[in-house]
Structure 1
Amino acid sequence: MPAKTIEAIRGLERDRFRAMVEGDGPALDALLAENVSYVHTNGKRETKRQFIDAITAGRRRYRQIEIQSQDVLPAGRDTCLVSGRALIEMESKNGALLFPIAYTAVHVQTDGQWLLLALQATRVALE
């Protein structure tokens, strides 16, 4: 897979995290596949609409998402796997939450556009 594709996927990951922090529903809508499966660190699975609505309605507020590591692995012509770690800061009813995650994301190319098809995140111990 060309280096430019790998950099494009890294850019999409940065764009998604930025949109999550900014509560940018239209940006998230453009980055996620219609049939995305988004599994959070608590095991809750959300559809595209559920995920975007929770963020834009303010039920889920991300203060900051810092990518700590990220490997982009080609898995065929139209699929890339991302294996990463990030530090998440969220706003909760009891104040700020800060926790590291490990995640796997699957991006697929459809009609020339890369979209997030699946994400699975897991909380990991602070190192």
Structure 2
Amino acid sequence: MSKLPQRERVVIPERKEMTLAREVAILRRYARCGGCGKPLTARSQYVYDHEIPLEICGRDEPDDMRPLCHDCDKPKTAADQGVIARAKRLAGETCAGPTRRPIPPGRPMDGTKASGLKRGFDGRVTRR
């Protein structure tokens, strides 16, 4: 049993539709890429990214979103996936079973070698 207090599962809100009003509210704050500062001219050059991912208590509001060019979005998304996985591990959501391999039968528990067997430098097992 863990000594950590039991955590509540975070309810992830559904993403709202990207309306023209939301897009304008985001672009008023950012006229350039939120990562590298490159000017964004065409809509196909960028995606809208949550600064704090929804899976770790981010909000689906325009003040938590920014446009990122595709070059900046890929590493940010990869970093977010690592943070989300860590948060799930800490919350105990990904533990499917024992984390250590079980000790195989016939192996002594006290740290001594198995009785009567010896492994040579070439890797072969022989009797003593």
TM-score higher than 0.5 here? no
Length-normalised TM-score, structure 2: 0.23
Structure with higher RCO (Cα < 8 A, 6+ apart):
1
Instruction: Determine which structure has more spread, i.e. the larger CA radius of gyration.
Output: 2
Length-normalised TM-score, structure 1: 0.23
> Which structure has the highest strand share of the two?
1
